[in-house]
Structure 1
Amino acid sequence: MLEVKKYDVIYFEHNIISETKIKKSKIDFNPNNKIELLMTEHYPWNKVIKGDLMENIKFPNKNIRFQDHATIPIVINQAKNVGVMYEALYNYDVGHPGNITKKKDKYKDIYEAFEYLINAYSKGILKKEDLTVLFIKKVYLR
């Protein structure tokens, strides 16, 4: 689909698996609306990203909880064509031992992720409006 339709990013539905239940995601955003895309969860595992968009992307060096939130918005900003697939193509097991979301000090991690995004803003990669949307999503709506 990436090659045929020339999408830079394709979002797909997924399942979140815990010990007691399976939660199925539903895509309910417009892939042509940048604000709606910035308001989505920024997991790298619920999308396929064209390789050249990732060439200059570097994840934060530190093992922080919000690494994806520091980088995926940059990818979204650079994507020219975004598509969706209404099919669950991935199962995410929240109980796996290496799951960083179990880390307790999340507020410090959010701060470090935003430092990374502010650096992208200072380089002209993100706009002030993008940072505002991301701040609202992560801090106020969390």
Structure 2
Amino acid sequence: MIVLVTVSSSLGLTAVANLFNRIALYLPNIIVAVLIIIFGTLLARFINRRVFAWLRNLGVDGALTISTISEYGVQLFAVFVALEQLAIGTQLLTTAFAILFGAIYLALALAFGLSGRDWAARVIDRWSGSKRNTKS
């Protein structure tokens, strides 16, 4: 690439030299983005296996589903980081990423809050009952 920039510059083709120069300066970003995708995929597979083994040992029924979701989450994060490295829609990606994870956490909070309401009421009743018995 450097030879192409030098040759085109010496021939007086400044537009071509500028184009090759910009490509040569952008190549490290592409290499880093590819490395991010590769290592992100490896990390996602590692996390998938660790989460699956951990949940399986705990006896959780949906261990495979949860571990697969965790793998996809890490992989999606790696893709967003790679696109950020390539400077492709950085503001849009950041906003979309924040909205996506905010929506996921809100859905989880609502699901836990609504399904855990009866359990929380029983725990509070048990605590308040034990406090009344100790005061009497």
Output the TM-score relative to the length of structure 1: 0.26
- Greater fraction of residues in strand: 1
- Greater fraction of residues in helix: 2
Output the TM-score relative to the length of structure 2: 0.27
Q: Which has the higher contact order (CA 8 A, sep 6+)?
A: 1
Structure number with bigger Rg:
2
